[in-house]
Amino acid sequence: KNQVEQSPQSLIILEGKNCTLQCNYTVSPFSNLRWYKQDTGRGPVSLTIMTFSENTKSNGRYTATLDADTKQSSLHITASQLSDSASYICVVEAGSYQLTFGKGTKLSVIP
Amino acid sequence: DVKVTQSSRYLVKRTGEKVFLECVQDMDHENMFWYRQDPGLGLRLIYFSYDVKMKEKGDIPEGYSVSREKKERFSLILESASTNQTSMYLCASSRTLAGGSYEQYFGPGTRLTVT
C-alpha cells in the first residue's frame, strides 16, 4: 500500500529561525513529489514539484530536497516569518492521477 | 493567476438533505478533483474528472456523486447527507506538465456540517 509519512506532526519555532520538515514515502511507481502549504481554513498551495531526476528545488525561502534512493524528502524553511505558520503537506504521485497525501506537519512560528 | 472558486465557504445541512457543492475554474484545465479533508486523515480523493462528462472514482466515492457538464464546472453531490459527511471539501483543477505530471490548484474549501 502506498504511504507517505511526515514528521514531526507539529513544530513550534521562533521567528527568524530555520526549520526542516521530513517526508518518507513508500509509493511505487514514483512520478513526482510535491510540497504544499495550507493556511488554516484555506486550500493547499503548491510550493515545489520534484521529479525523479531532481534532488533540490527552491521557491524563495523554501528549499525541498529529494533522495529517491532512500525515498526521503525534506522541506527546509530559512529565516522563518509569522506568515509561514501553516500546515505543510507532502504528496507523492505514482502517475495517472494517483496521489498519496501525507497528513501534514503543522508549523507555528511565534514572535 | 489560476482561480478555483467554490460556491460556499460554510454550509450547514440536515441529515437526509441533498447537497450540491459547486466548483468553477477559469484556466481551461482538463482535470478537476474533489477531496475531503479530516483531522488526522489528510486529504482523500472522492472523485476526479479528466474531461467533460467523464468521471472516475477516487478512494472514497461511497455516498457521493459528481457531475461535469461543462469544462469549467465540477459539482459534488451528496444524495442524502449523513453526519459522517461533515468535513472540509476541497476542489482542485490541474493542467498537464511536460512528462505527464500535473500541477494542482485548490479552491478555498467548503466546510460542511451535517446535523
Specify the DSSP element, H or E, that contains A87: strand A86-93
CB-CB under 8 Å, A49 with B97: yes
- Alpha-carbon distance B110 to B9, whole Å? 4
CB-CB under 8 Å, A46 with B103: yes
Q: What is the pLDDT of residues B77-103, one digit of tens each?
A: 999 999 999 999 999 998 876 666 678
Mean pLDDT value of segment B54-72: 95
CB-CB under 8 Å, B111 with A32: no
Q: What is the pLDDT of residues B1-53, one digit of tens each?
A: 668 999 999 999 999 999 999 999 998 998 999 999 998 888 999 999 988 98
Give the distance, in angstroms, between the CA of residue A79 and the centroid of all CA atoms in the same chain.
17
Q: Which of B42, B90, B105 sits opposite A104 (nearest CB)?
A: B42
A contact test, residue of B54, B55, B60, B104 with most A CBs within 10 A: B104
- Among candidates B44, B1, B2, which has minimal Cα distance to B23? B2
| pLDDT band, residue A99 (cuts 50/70/90) | confident
Asked if residues A63 and A54 have their Cβ atoms less than 8 Å apart, the reply is no
State the count of interchain CB pairs (< 8 A) between A and B. Answer: 44
* Residues 6+ positions from A107 with CB-CB distance below 8 Å: A10, A11, A12, A13, A19, A21, A77, A80, A84, A85, A86, A87, A88
Average model confidence (pLDDT) for chain A?
94
Specify the DSSP element, H or E, that contains B1: none
Query: In this predicted structure, what is the pLDDT of residue B97?
Result: 65
CB atoms near residue B58 (< 10 Å): 20
Q: What is the pLDDT of residues A27-46, one digit of tens each?
A: 888 889 999 999 998 999 99
